[in-house]
Structure 1
Amino acid sequence: MKSLIKNCVDLIFILINAPLLILYFVICLVFGKNNGVFSAFAQFYSMLPGQLGNYARANFYRFVMQNCHPRVVVSFATLFSQQKTSIGSGVYIGPQCNIGACIIEKDCLLGSGVHVLSGKGQHNFDDLDTPIREQGGTFSQVTIGEDSWIGNGSIITANIGKKCIIGAGSVVTKDIPDYSIAVGNPAKVIRQRQ
């Protein structure tokens, strides 16, 4: 019965989202599929409050992201900057997060204000005669392994293994192995969960 109710709610929100989804795809056809269009819609959806906003966001992202399971929670004021994002089932993303290109595997928890950046090489800065904003950079997908918990206010620029815990306010600049508990700036592994 519970599954039937969830499927009905999904269908209702697909119908509610249909006009905006159609508009999104028409704009993409006319102007090309780019992150500017994606970001504009992501900003709009981020501002929808409450549980209704959570349902609307999940049902929008499942059609426009690389992959987004319908059973996720993307909380109020969370922004996605890259369409090349994959979110597995059972994921909870807290309010006011900023998420770049990444893979968030199933059953992960991200606290409030977590920033997941698209790798470490986003900005080149070697040429002193060219402004940094004009030097480009490289975006890569960061992976957060299944059943990991990222504490409030953490900044993630490297991969995190499965079943990890990242302490609140940590800055992850190097890959964290599976089953690790890491804290600090830069984050260091303090023990294993096994």
Structure 2
Amino acid sequence: MKPFIKRCVFLLLALLISPVTISYLLLSMVLNKDALIASYSQCLSLLPGKLGSYLRSGFYRFVFTQCSPDAVISFGTLFSQQDTSIEEGVYIGPQCNIGKCSIGKNTLLGSGVHIMSGKGQHNFSDPSKPIKDQGGIFTKVEIGENCWLGNGALVMANVGKGSVVAAGAVVVDDVPEGAIVGGNPARVLRDSA
């Protein structure tokens, strides 16, 4: 009975947020989806409490590549790319900043975690040009299932299934499955197995 009630609540809240979702979908036909998702994300991030989290999930499940209706997306969390996947059981703590990524099932993100769209977002090879004009490449970062990313972690590379990223770590290279990493740049401290 409880799963049925939860599904009904998720559906009700998706209906409640549907005018916002419809406005996004209409505007996305003529405007840049990433710029639009950033704007909507800023507004939706200010909705407080559990209701705000459910409303955000209700919106993102229709505009992201994938978003489970049971995902917890906390207050102040910003998204910058539409090509984002959030699987079931995911918890995203307050004030996170999420780029182009895929977050696996049952993964937890502490407060203030930043997942960037890879480490090639900015090119600065030509000193005669302003950095903002040099472009870059956005890549989709994969966070495996059943991971824990500690508060304030900065992630620019893939994190393998079952891994732990220590608070404040700066991940610039792929993290193997089942590893515990920390530091700047993050290095393997030990296997979690």
Q: TM-score, normalised by structure 1?
A: 0.97
Partner in structure 2 of residue 79 of structure 1: 78
How many residues end up aligned between the 2 structures? 193
2:152 corresponds in structure 1 to: 153
Note the 1:1-194 alignment, pairs <5 A. 1-29=1-29, 31-194=30-193
Displacement of 1:32 after TM fit?
A: 3.3
Moved over 4 A (4+): none
Q: What secondary structure is seen at the aligned counterpart in 1 of 2:138? A: coil
| C-alpha separation in 2, matches of 1:67 and 1:108 | 15
Partners of 1:10 and 1:120 in 2: CA distance: 35
Distance in 2 between the 1:142 and 1:62 partners?
A: 19
* Same amino acid, percent of matched pairs: 52
Q: List gaps (5 residues or longer) in structure 2.
A: none
**Structure 2: distance between partners of 1:33 and 1:6:** 34
TM-superposed deviation, 1:78: 0.3
TM-score, L = length of structure 2: 0.98
Q: Give the deviation of 1:127 after TM superposition.
A: 1.0
Q: Which amino acid letter does the alignment assign opposite residue 22 of structure 2?
A: I
Q: Please give the root-mean-square deviation of Cα atoms over the aligned residues, in Å.
A: 0.9
Deviation at 1:193, TM superposition (A): 1.5
Distance in 1 separating the partners of 2:100 and 2:135: 16
Residue by residue, what CA displacement relative to the aligned partner does 1:136-173 show, whole Å, maximum 9, x if unpaired? Answer: 00000011111000000000011110000111111111
In 1, the alpha carbon distance for the partners of 2:33 and 2:12 equals: 28
Residue 33 of structure 1 deviates from its aligned partner by 4.4
C-alpha offsets along residues 50-88 of structure 1, whole Å, 9 cap, x if unaligned?
Answer: 000010011100000011111110000000000111111
The secondary structure found in structure 1 opposite 2:58 is: helix
Structure 1 runs not aligned, ≥5 long: none
Write the distance in 1 (CA, Å) between the matches of 2:158 and 2:86: 15
Q: Whole-Å Cα distance in 2 between the matches of residues 3 and 74 of structure 1?
A: 20
How much has 1:15 moved relative to structure 2? 1.4
Task: Report the Cα offset of residue 97 of structure 1.
Answer: 0.2
Secondary structure of the residue that 1:54 maps to in structure 2? helix
